Amino acid sequence: MSVGHQVDSDHQLARLLQIGIVLEEVVEARSYHHYQSLDDEPPLDQEIEALLEHAAEESAEHRERLEDLIDQLDAESVPFEQIEALVEAQYGSTEPEDFDDILYDQLCNEETAYKFYDDLVGALRASEASFSIDRDRLIDILVGIREEEAQGVEEVTELMNTRQ
């Protein structure tokens, strides 16, 4: 999902934040799907279970923060169906079952979210546009989410390394 080089308006920012919400929903849904699949595969792996539970909770928290930011913007929201279609076109070609390993799928989800937020922060920093929300606060919130995604990448990678 290309964020672009700059973010130039509240409308464009709202659209990008909505994309972030849908990405978070995808991560949460896939984590939940994998979490449910653990019930079918005894013995239950507590480390993976905890990782997936944390990922789902974190995604829900990120969605709430993004929704709060959108509510503060002076922009009409893009219909959810349009945003969902954009995300589906980019990320919908794979299903959780397409990955050989739960951890590999989770790593891809975390990396995708990290890259999205990293690109968005870069585009905001490159932009000279004025927004109806405080730019520094906006960037601080998005940097915090990006850092949590980076931590998620590290946690999954560490868990994968202990399994080799």
Q: 49-78 pLDDT, tens per residue?
A: 888 888 889 998 999 999 999 999 987 665
Alpha-carbon span 58 to 148, nearest angstrom:
8
Listed in sequence order, the residues at least 6 apart from 4 whose beta carbon sits closer than 8 Å to its beta carbon are 12, 123
| Domain contains 4 | no
Q: Is 4 left (phi over 0), alpha (psi -120 to 50) or beta?
A: left
Q: Is residue 3 part of a domain?
A: no
pLDDT digits (tens, 9 = 90+) for 94-136: 554 544 578 888 898 899 999 999 999 999 999 999 999 999 9
Residue 2 lies inside a defined structural domain of this protein: no
Q: How far apart are CA 123 and CA 4, in angstroms?
A: 7
Instruction: Please tell me whether the overall predicted TM-score, pTM, comes out greater than 0.85 for this model.
Output: no
CA 142 – CA 158 distance, rounded (Å): 24
For residue 127, the domain's CATH number is 1.20.1260.10
Range of the domain at 85: 10-162
